[in-house]
Amino acid sequence: MYTFIKEYMEKKADYFNKVSAYIFRHPETRFEEYKSAAFLAAECEKQGFKVERNVANISTAFKATFGSGKPVIAFLGEYDALPGLSQTPNLSKKEQVEESPDFGHGCGHNLLGTGAFAAACATKAYLEENNLEGTVVFYGCPGEEGGSGKTFMVRDGAFEGVDVALTWHPSPGNSIMSRPTLANYQVSFRFKGVAAHAANSPHLGRSALDAVELMNVGVNYLREHIIQDARVHYAVTDTGGFSPAVVQPKAEVLYLIRAPKNNQVEGIYKRICKIAEGAALMTETEVEIEFIKACSNYVPNRSLEKILHKNLVEVGAGVPSAEENAYAKQIWDTFSSDEQQFFTDIMDGFGYVGDGSEFEGKYLNDSISDYVASEEIFYGSTDVADVSWVLPTAQLTAATSTLGTPLHTWQMTAQGLSDFAHRGMRRAASAMALTGIDLLTSPEKLARVKEEHAQFEKQNPYNPPIPKDVSPSTLGGKRIY
């Protein structure tokens, strides 16, 4: 099995690198990944998958299926980019790509989507080679960045009938992403006031911008009275205008509310809504509250993680070349001293176990971390979490960037087409494919994985955090995510 997957990945390396490069060079933001989704769906068809488009009524979501019968093993791919992160690849200085929108793959989703696709293709090839029964599904999942595409898909039943889901994420590390994540809500608060001349008739105006500022002050006071693990972030996305001589008649602020559990987020959200209503009362303005998206907290499946880790160890980390180390040193030198000092913090969030001593004098990861089933919270969020609530799910991370590289940065984008990144992508694909084959060929392993999830489900019924009447929201020309 291992030899088959190894040879398959070596044979198809150039092909998957080209798929990754296409997505990288066509960066598109949430729910507007028209070129990337169409390209990947077409490549799935070329590889012999049957493709269903417009999954969950999302135009850039699709489902590619091969095989028949049980079990059904899913691989989750993403391909959305981020605003503000256009970057020429393979440079060690910040340089935007000319004649392109200011979008870039600063979270490595060109690698993520392609790696999951490669895993699905390799698993399919093994089924064909050995004439095995079972179903392989590749899900094209849009809008992870600020959109929670998978949460919409779960809410609308896109994963019904699937037995297990596998996915991964690019990072500087090689490990199992074993930690629970934060649930979140993203909500917009739009205030409407009355314009007036700020000098000769200020008494006739009602400032929507004042309302936004008062709301933000109120929420800042709330921070003292919420649980320690909660996070509340905001961005003023519309100040109402550019003239201080005008009482601003409109203003908008976008909030992202996080906490370890869905009900904790809901409680904080309700309190923030009261603060917004209070700010509107104080300023005699009106407030419109728009619920944009949400995602749940991630639920690890330890039985599945152990299988995935075993296969990641079998695949191995590989050895970086001298040229790759030299480039990584150049990237490393762009980090601040604080970033260099605390580089293991980034890897810890992705499941790394250790104190970083094995990386002394190194700039690239050349080892596989031990596996520890950690209950420590990872202070980030992912829409993979909602999939984990409805079926057994596991994630790994594979090293694709210089040690210490933060996500959502130009440095991450710059490294997105390197040979090192593409080897990490294929490493992840190989480990996921081997795990999928394990589950397809071992009813005992699959039964343990499913039983663990069944025990969780008995006590934790899933309630979609996104209301039924909320639809996926694009950036709409705004630089928000």
CATH number, residue 209: 3.30.70.360
3-state secondary structure string across 454-468: HHHHHHCCCCCCCCC
Please report whether residue 465 resides in a domain: no
Is 353 inside a domain boundary?
Answer: yes
Domain annotation covers residue 148: yes
Q: In this structure, what CATH number is given to the domain that contains residue 448? A: 3.40.630.10
Examine residue 392 and state whether it is found in any structural domain, yes or no: yes
- For 165, the domain range is 2-181+297-459
Q: Would residue 278 count as lying in a domain?
A: yes
Domain boundary among 273, 295, 317: 295
In this predicted structure, what is the pLDDT of residue 477? 42
- Taking only the tens place, the pLDDT of each residue in 323-379 is 999 999 999 999 998 888 888 888 888 999 999 999 999 999 999 999 999 999 999
List all residues 6 or more positions away from 366 whose beta carbon is below 8 Å from its beta carbon: 317, 318, 319, 320
Same domain, 17 and 150: yes
Residue 479's pLDDT is what? 44
Pull the structure tokens for residue 300: 């690890």
Q: Are residues 177 and 217 in the same domain?
A: no
The reported pLDDT for the residue numbered 480 is 46
Residues 154 and 288 in one domain: no
Residue 476 located in a structural domain = no
pLDDT at position 475, please?
A: 55
Shared domain check, 124 and 12: yes
Q: At 133, is the secondary structure helix, strand, or coil?
A: coil
Residue 63 sits in the same domain as residue 78 = yes
Q: What is the pLDDT of residues 151-188, one digit of tens each?
A: 999 999 999 999 999 999 999 999 999 999 999 999 99
Residues 260 and 394 in one domain: no
β-sheet bridge partners, residue 394: 166
DSSP 370: P
Tokens representing 438 are: 């394990």
In the chain, the number of structural domains is 2
Residue 64 to residue 430: CA distance in whole angstroms: 19
CA 146 – CA 293 distance, rounded (Å): 8
Spatial CA neighbour of 41 closest among 55, 24, 21: 55
**Are 227 and 310 in a shared domain?**
no
Decide if 473 contacts 31 (C-beta within 8 A). yes
The answer on 216 and 167 residing in a single domain is no
In a domain, 399, yes or no: yes
Residues 6+ apart with CB under 8 A from 130: none
Of 262, 295, 328, the residue at which a domain comes to its end is 295
Q: Which of 27, 185, 11 is nearest to 96 (CA)?
A: 27
**Do residues 159 and 196 share a domain?**
no
Q: Which residues contact 45 (CB under 8 A, 6 or more apart)?
A: 51, 64
222 and 80 together in one domain: no
- Within the chain, which residues score under 50 in pLDDT? 476-481
250 and 170 in a common domain: no
Same-domain pairing of 260 and 386:
no
- Do the domain assignments include residue 210? yes
Distance CA 360, CA 338 (A): 16
